[in-house]
Structure 1
Amino acid sequence: MDNWTEKREMVRVAKLYYLNGLTQAEIAKKLGVSRPVISKMLQRAKDTGIVEIYIRDETVSMVELEQQLEAALRLDEVIVVPAHGSKNEELIKQQVAKAAAQYLPKWIRNKRRIGISWGTTLYHLVNEYPFERHHKMKVYPLVGGIGRHRIEIHSNQLAYEFSKKLGGSCEFLYAPAIADSMELKRQLVDSPDIRSILDEARRVELAIVGIGNPYESTMTEMGYLKDEDLRQLQEGQAVGDISSRFLDRTGKPIDTDLNHRVIGIELDELRQIPIVVGVVSGSNKLEAVWSSLRGDYFDKLIIDEYLAEALLDKAKEVSNGERG
């Protein structure tokens, strides 16, 4: 755990204990660790000067933002990654992925089946992930992963690379994310191998997914989305996508031919997975993230500071509108 992550955890624990009045046992249960771990963190917070009469740390504002978002969005946990004043979107994306790689190990502990989607953020996450030894852990792609472009960010490749980092194994879904026709999709999903992998993917214990803005997406850059597809998305009022399935503002999948040709688990099935972690950066994805939250697809969210502030403003705006 790097210095920033350690300090952030100490600040979070100190706030819960000294300001929110939780007991060490309550904090331990909330964070999924033992009480002695919390005790040691509180002592270290004092030893390093983070806790004196008040909590002193540059990450305290991030912790406050996280707690406000957890309450406003009704999520189990939100991790906000500071942007340190940077406007470099690629750098911020890498920092969000790095933070995800630092928090995921404790979330996947004791799990046997992990699901992963695809995209550039998850590619960086896998690259940053530490090597572990989970021999009984298996990684499953949640959406088709065959394509000629940017192979390194496809779900099959990410499942393979992630399984190597975990010291486990993986399965491959030998199908494209979006089939060229409904007839081809039917043929593929009816094949025993693909049907079997999709059945197993539906039963993963934790899923890691990104969120996309369909009008500024990797799918468009890679040629997956043609002009006709983008027209369909605009007509269907799509604002975002999760695992290549497109959502409207209410968080529901749009009823288009494009969505029906996706090969992967359905969004209703994603909602049934015990823990779903969303990893996303970029304020241009505000509406996409908001719609996915309205659809209740996530339990945990890892986002950058700018997006977090925009989400909180959106939540307050909606709340004030409902009261009015």
Structure 2
Amino acid sequence: MYSDALLVKTSELYYYSRMSQAEIGRVLGVSVPTVSRILQEAMERGIIEVRIRDTLTRTADAEEALKKKFGLLDAVVVEIPQDTDGNFLRKLLGKKASELLPRFCDRGGTIGIGCGVTIREMIESLDRSRRFPDLRIVPLLGGWGKEEPERETNRLASDMGNILGCAFSYLLAPAIVSSAEVRDLLLQEPQIQLTTRLWDSVKTAFFSIGPELDRMFFPYIPAEYLDMEKARKAGGVGDVLGRIIDGKGREVPIPYNGRLVSIPFETLKNIPRRVGIGGGPQKYRGIYAALAGKLVNVLITDFETSEYLLHLEAMEHDGI
């Protein structure tokens, strides 16, 4: 039987310092079999505790909790490695969305999509061996007029349609125009209405949920159209399909929202399945707002974000 001090020292060298048993033997002046026996005794006496984290169980529990707390049709929660950057997280969430999509490919149905890196990752991750010729893909907002493919909804719709072997529609309009009056005139154009009228027939919408209002996250929006500071002061916490929302998921009353060529929220809420995708600290408040406003009824997110959402919901429920 070894002393407590030796058990603790050996355990620290093995688990904290990541030394091999041979290296520990040289430090302590004992043989490798002796180091092994010391570690075994440390475990038997409870100095070393082994905990196996069942990630499948905890993500499944989080999914059920999200569905119950927010009244969701479904939730998908993914585990991510520590120190994961935003690009990897978007790839992972996009992949999960691509795996979920075939469940919603109703025969003769219409799928609406937003834009962004996560949506592009979803499209690029689609199984190219599966074809859904009876579908139609429809953009839910105009394009941002940028070179980045993830900002051009028409390109995303055509890429998705080609992969799935189905029809797709173009929305021949910019996402943002100079005034609400110009927006209203534009929406009266017959060529544009060919697509916007399809919004009422969309059965499933896939869109990412935007981050905190910081210019670094919205370089594609002209500064003269969106004053970030004023939007934040008005209560803005993120965006859904371009529209800036407050903490309750309501459109913030700023001129920018009135200039958007994007599906109205009242129409969006009539879509049976509204799949919101997003995760990470910069999107915590935006995701919670989208859930609170019933803009989303299917959520794809990561475990850490799910914990935040459930914690915040519990605080709201308790009036904290």
Question: Contact between 1:137 and 1:169, CA under 8 Å: does it hold in 2?
Answer: yes
Q: Name whichever structure is richer in helix by fraction.
A: 1
- The match for 2:177 is 179
Question: Contact between 1:122 and 1:153, CA under 8 Å: does it hold in 2?
Answer: no
Aligned partner of 1:243: which letter? L
Secondary structure, in 3 states, of the residue corresponding to 1:59?
helix
Q: How does 1:1-324 map to 2 (within 5 A)?
A: 57-110=54-107, 112-131=109-128, 132-216=130-214, 220-226=218-224, 229-321=227-319
Deviation at 1:57, TM superposition (A): 4.9
Secondary structure, in 3 states, of the residue corresponding to 1:207?
strand
Q: In 2, distance between residues paired with 1:228 and 1:106?
A: 37
**CA spacing shift, 1:117–1:64, aligned 2, 3 Å:** same
Q: Which runs of 5+ in 1 are unaligned?
A: 1-55
Secondary structure, in 3 states, of the residue corresponding to 2:75?
strand
- Mean CA deviation greater in 81-90 or 279-288: 81-90
Question: Contact between 1:101 and 1:126, CA under 8 Å: does it hold in 2?
Answer: yes
Deviation at 1:227, TM superposition (A): 7.9
Q: Percent identity, aligned pairs only?
A: 25
Secondary structure, in 3 states, of the residue corresponding to 1:254?
coil
Q: Which runs of 5+ in 2 are unaligned?
A: 1-52
**CA spacing shift, 1:244–1:217, aligned 2, 3 Å:** farther
Q: How many residues align?
A: 267
**CA spacing shift, 1:276–1:228, aligned 2, 3 Å:** closer
Aligned partner of 1:102: which letter? E
TM-score by structure 2 length? Answer: 0.78
Structure 1's consecutive aligned runs of 4 or more residues displaced over 3 angstroms after TM superposition are: 216-219, 223-228
RMSD (Å) for aligned C-alpha atoms: 2.0
